[in-house]
Amino acid sequence: MNLMRRGIFFYAICCAWLLSVPQVSYGQMSEMESLKALVRDIGERLQGALKRIEELEKEKAASAGKIEQLEQDKVASGSRLGQVEKSVRAVQSAPMALNPAIGMVIDATAEHRAKTGGNFNFRTAELGIAASIDPFARAYAFIGAKKDEVELEEATIVTTALPWNLTARAGRLFADFGRLPKYHADSLPFVNFPLSLERIAGGESKSDGVELSYLFPTPFFLRGTVGGYNKIGEENERLDDTKSRAWSRFTYLSRLHSYFDISDDHSIEMGTSMAYTPSIRIPEDPHGGSRTLTGVDLTYRYQPLGSTFHQGLTIGGELFGNSERVGRASGFRRTFAPGGYAYAEAKLSREWAAGFLFDHAPSLSSPGKKTIGYSPFLTWNLSEFNRLRFQYSFLDDKVKEQKTEQGHQFFLQWTTFLGSHAHGFRVR
């Protein structure tokens, strides 16, 4: 607009000057005509410039309208994008909901124990089923057949779309206590569960209950878990989880679990767990008492970056502690029984791995008495679906509760996988 005003002002001055010029000679008239022509040319250019300015102002107004429309379209697109994402999750979950992943594991051993003799031991045939339910949850179940009994090992619902990095699990599940207690027997790096884990933690951490996990927004993996259960441990017979009872007789868990890379070839996984039962009834003791089960686990992995997935070294171990009132000859009193295991496994190639397990298993009623175990083992992976493992164990037993926990022992384990199965990160 300033340009328009300046042009009009200049054009008026030129016209006024020409009109005020007095009568001149013929030569002067020729010069005058030239000036008039120049002024007319300037006027025509000025009018063209003014017209172009008006066009630009109209385009600017139109562009502003388009920008506003684009902003509105952006907001609408964001809303539609959220709907599309939900639809995509629904479509992704639909195939598995109608066609769940199904697999089976068959695990058996031929074994000889110095104190009891030999046995062909059919350990389990375990059927696994897993599928997405919808965009908000998935579920899995494991049904195990052991000799003459069929048992539901796990039947768990897991959320997949909670806010704030939260995940919930509910049903029959393996409670998030320790490292190996969450394993099925066929997933162990050796043949049997360490005796310390069976005595102190009750073997597999099978539980009926609910858990809530939070994934911390840290540069490395850090997850916290809290849970409540009828009880923890497949071999835990302190409570009958088929009967209703006071909430003080349930078991409550907290765990902090972390993983981080030291370098490209080295990594550390660690965790700490505590399971607390406020009240346990003891028939011979009217006072009863609480039970506290604690655990610390540490795993180091070396996996050369330039080698295959099946080469490397794993060193791991867990320390457990059990504190509760137990019956002694002098009466009931609280005792603390510490124990644990450590192992190392070298993956030599795709097919072969070798390792050694050390185990320290105390008696819960007399922690001074213990069973020390030494177990070298050798694993031959014939394929991803077929595995043989040989293990020798020597148990120096001072507890003398069972003959199967004493002396020299030999195991040949054969494990096969049918259908869908996944080893996952934890068995690396």
The tens-digit pLDDT sequence of the chain (428 residues) is 454 455 555 555 555 544 454 444 445 556 777 777 777 777 777 777 777 777 777 777 777 666 677 667 666 655 555 555 555 555 454 555 567 889 999 999 999 998 888 999 998 899 999 998 888 999 999 998 887 788 889 999 999 999 999 999 999 999 999 999 999 888 899 999 999 999 999 889 999 999 999 999 999 999 999 999 999 988 888 777 778 888 888 999 999 999 999 998 899 999 999 999 998 877 666 666 889 999 999 999 998 887 766 789 999 999 999 998 876 666 677 889 999 999 999 998 889 999 999 999 998 888 888 999 999 999 999 988 999 999 999 999 888 777 777 889 999 999 999 987 665 445 44
For residue 71, the enclosing domain spans 2-83
The answer as to whether 92 is a domain residue is no
Residue 260 C-alpha from the chain's centroid: 13
Q: What single string gives the DSSP state of each residue in 118-135?
A: EEEEEEEEEEEEEEEEET
Same domain, 119 and 230: yes
- Tell me how far apart the alpha carbons of residues 241 and 259 are, in angstroms, rounded to a whole number: 34
Same domain, 69 and 172: no
Neighbours of 37 (CB within 10 A): 10
Question: Among 50, 83, 116, which residue terminates a domain?
Answer: 83
Same domain, 124 and 72: no
Question: Among 36, 53, 83, which residue terminates a domain?
Answer: 83
Angle at which helices 26-98 and 2-19 cross, to 10°: 170
- Tell me how far apart the alpha carbons of residues 93 and 137 are, in angstroms, rounded to a whole number: 9
Same domain, 18 and 161: no
Number of compact structural domains in the chain: 2
Same domain, 180 and 55: no
CATH number for the domain spanning 391: value is 2.40.160.10
Same domain, 76 and 201: no
pTM of the model: 0.74
Same domain, 238 and 280: yes
- In sequence order, what are the residues at sequence separation of 6 or more whose Cβ sits closer than 8 angstroms to the Cβ of residue 323? 291, 292, 293, 294, 334, 335, 336, 337
